[in-house]
Structure 1
Amino acid sequence: MFKSKKFFRTKFISAWLLILLLVMSWTLASCSSAGGSYYPDKGVAPQDPNREIGLNNKYAPTGAPNPDKENPDKPNQPVDRKIIRNAHYQMRSTDLDATVGGLRRLINELDGYETNFSSRTSDERRYINIEFKVPAEKLQDFIDKVGDFARATHSVVKSDDITDQYYDYTIRLRTLETSLEKYYDLLKDVKDVDSIIALQSRIDYLTTEIESFKGTIRRWDSQVAYSTISIELQEEDDPTLLKREVDWNTLSWDDVKYLAASGFKSVAAW
């Protein structure tokens, strides 16, 4: 039995409606995927650079790396840890000149160098502050030998692990440099003065940030490669020297002054 014309007309209309719905769904999906964030500079640039620089969307940079997705396998890779190690000493010596000479020779043997030196005299006693830099891998050699030149009364060896900060800065630096390149490319295409001024302002800001990041990373590299050793030297009396004998039965004024001076020195040394 043949179906009526009304039945076929209804089927035809339903098929076209289904096709129309599929086309609309595909169009909406395409628009949604194209409308995502175009500037994923996390922690460096604003979420909406158009609001920051006053540019149309067609001038916004695309393709900047995302620090969170820069290296998804990083946790499984061996990490070159960045550790700053420094040492500080308070020492006493009966011959400061000999001690300083010995320390300088030791530092020279360890491929280090002297960065600071100062000397003063107070209450007939000399004090010297001296600072050295040595390759970080040779700091332990210095620690093992420094006791040969003076008596240490206090010492501190400090290690500061900056690994997380260091790699965070390197990733952010790459992000900034990529954004800067894209802003320079955009500058070649814009013609209106307002956009040029806005782009140049953003370029100047990124350039300043990049130089700041590079300076910090260079400073960290230097601190990781070379350890700082600071030493406070104080002169002390040589216990092997003969002390003046005092005859208490015939105590003179000179003997009193000697005893007083010796007492003050003992208290100061203590």
Structure 2
Amino acid sequence: MRPLLLVPFLALLACSTSRPHARAEVSDGLSERGGAPGAAFEGRSIIHRASLQVECDEPEKGPTRAAVLAKSHGGYAQQVMTESIWVRIPAERLEGFLAAVPALGTVESKSVSAEDVTDTHRDLKVRLDNLTRIRERYLELLQRAVTVEDTLKVEKELERITLEYETLKARMEGLEGSIALSTVYLDFKRPVSPGPLGWVFYGLGKGIKWLFVWD
């Protein structure tokens, strides 16, 4: 390869493998709305997930009803099973969806998590921007290449950079999808009615609680 192309190659290769060193500080504070599920975190990239166990008389109908409820909140059913379902809900509407779940039955348990992926999101964006500029430079070098040897070397590097770019782009799209659409798992169960001995122990437990705690 001619000396004219060596300097751009070395500079571009250094840029393609470098990573940004600056990291944003992760805020431990909650949003002004109290950090509720689906709340807006100013300037942060948040992934919300929720899992609920719901008791109802007809658990086999629970997934269908949950899918309808998800659709009414701008979401959709991602995976439907016999008595459970995974749904995706727009993050800004997650709080309203969770508040509406009791219409499907008695919520026996609920867990909600919020994962801050701001640094990962920002890092991917910076790397994609760098790779975009590098690809453009390689395309310019390809246009300026005179010999077959130069052309083949530039094309090889361009292919490598393009593969890295497409891989990062797929990761970015997946991450942004998880940020925009919260994942909710609902598991439906039939209420368990205690037998005669069960009611005895239930009453005994209430009596013992009354001895120690007065409402």
TM-score normalised over the length of structure 1: 0.56
Could you list the per-position Cα deviations for residues 131-168 of structure 1 after superposition, in whole angstroms to 9, with x for gaps in the alignment? 11111111111222212322333322111111111111
Secondary structure, in 3 states, of the residue corresponding to 2:74? coil
Could you list the per-position Cα deviations for residues 233-260 of structure 1 after superposition, in whole angstroms to 9, with x for gaps in the alignment? 2223568xxx9x9xxxxxxxxxxxxxxx
Identity of aligned residues (%): 21
Amino acid at match of 1:194: E
What is the correspondence of 1:99-118 to structure 2 with a 5 Å cutoff? 99-118=62-81
Aligned partner of 2:4 among 40, 58, 73: 58
Could you list the per-position Cα deviations for residues 5-31 of structure 1 after superposition, in whole angstroms to 9, with x for gaps in the alignment? xxxxxxxxxxxxxxxxxxxxxxxxxxx
> Residue 16 of structure 1 corresponds to which residue in structure 2?
none
Aligned partner of 2:168 among 192, 198, 213: 213
> Residue 203 of structure 2 corresponds to which residue in structure 1?
none
Aligned partners of 1:148 and 1:185: how far apart in 2?
A: 61
Amino acid at match of 1:217: M
Structure 1: which 5+ residue stretches go unaligned? Answer: 1-54, 120-127, 246-261, 263-270
Larger radius of gyration between Structure 1 and Structure 2: 1
CA contact (8 A) 1:113 1:134 kept: yes
CA contact (8 A) 1:94 1:237 kept: no
Q: 1:189 to 1:101 in 2, by over 3 A?
A: closer
Aligned partners of 1:67 and 1:97: how far apart in 2?
A: 50
Aligned partners of 1:110 and 1:68: how far apart in 2?
A: 38
Aligned partners of 1:90 and 1:67: how far apart in 2?
A: 43
What is the CA distance between 1:57 and its match in structure 2?
4.1
What is the CA distance between 1:170 and its match in structure 2?
0.8
Amino acid at match of 1:154: S
> Residue 222 of structure 1 corresponds to which residue in structure 2?
177
Structure 2: which 5+ residue stretches go unaligned? Answer: 26-40, 199-215
Could you list the per-position Cα deviations for residues 64-121 of structure 1 after superposition, in whole angstroms to 9, with x for gaps in the alignment? 798759xx9x99xx973111101112233222255445423322221111111111xx
> Residue 48 of structure 1 corresponds to which residue in structure 2?
none
What is the CA distance between 1:211 and its match in structure 2?
0.7
What is the CA distance between 1:198 and its match in structure 2?
1.6
> Residue 162 of structure 1 corresponds to which residue in structure 2?
117
Amino acid at match of 1:232: D
Q: 1:197 to 1:111 in 2, by over 3 A?
A: same
Secondary structure, in 3 states, of the residue corresponding to 1:80? coil
Q: 1:154 to 1:79 in 2, by over 3 A?
A: closer
> Residue 36 of structure 2 corresponds to which residue in structure 1?
none
Q: 1:218 to 1:111 in 2, by over 3 A?
A: same
Aligned partners of 1:56 and 1:175: how far apart in 2?
A: 25
Aligned partner of 2:59 among 76, 83, 96: 96
Aligned partners of 1:201 and 1:193: how far apart in 2?
A: 12
TM-score normalised over the length of structure 2: 0.69
Aligned partners of 1:100 and 1:184: how far apart in 2?
A: 51
Q: Once structures 1 and 2 are overlaid, which stretch shifts more, 199-208 or 78-87? A: 78-87
CA contact (8 A) 1:94 1:238 kept: no
What is the CA distance between 1:182 and its match in structure 2?
0.9
> Residue 132 of structure 1 corresponds to which residue in structure 2?
87
> Residue 82 of structure 1 corresponds to which residue in structure 2?
45
How many residue pairs get matched?
175
Q: 1:79 to 1:229 in 2, by over 3 A?
A: closer
Aligned partners of 1:111 and 1:155: how far apart in 2?
A: 21
Secondary structure, in 3 states, of the residue corresponding to 2:130? helix
CA root-mean-square deviation: 3.2
